[in-house]
Amino acid sequence: QVQLVESGGGLVQPGGSLRLSCAASGFTFNSYHMSWYRQAPGKERELVASITNTGGSTNYAVSMQGRFTISRDNAKNTAYLQMNSLRPEDTAVYYCKAVRSFSTYWGQGTQVTVSL
């Protein structure tokens, strides 16, 4: 069956870094555009970054530009989100999403907490 499994979240101090992974299975990964979203308590889910199926194009939310990097390895069916210079306001559950035409899959999320 289709699975998107995020990992790599945790507790990090402000200014620190984390690398999230999203392992995909059960569908043709290299046909799907991938995105990372996040949702903080009491807030709506928001787009963090996206990458096309080939990895040839990326897009970032303004507040993440220059700090976050999205990438993918189609040979490993995995998408990544490198997060640097983390701030307390980056605290959220981070989700990956796979999209192709009218087909959308979500992962279960991984918690990222930025705090002293």
Q: Mind listing the pLDDT tens digit for each residue in 33-91?
A: 999 999 999 999 999 999 999 999 999 999 888 999 999 999 999 999 999 999 999 99
Residue 30: both structure tokens together: 């290299």
Per-residue pLDDT at 85:
97
Residue 11's pLDDT band (cuts 50, 70, 90): very high
Residue 10's pLDDT band (cuts 50, 70, 90): very high
Count of alpha carbons within 13 angstroms of residue 16, beta-carbon side: 15
Angstrom distance (rounded) from CA 16 to CA 79: 21
Angstrom distance (rounded) from CA 30 to CA 73: 9
Per-position b or e across 14-44, b if 16+ CB within 10 A of its CB: eeeebebbbbbeebebeebbbbbbbeeeeee
Residue 3's pLDDT band (cuts 50, 70, 90): very high
Residue 105's pLDDT band (cuts 50, 70, 90): very high
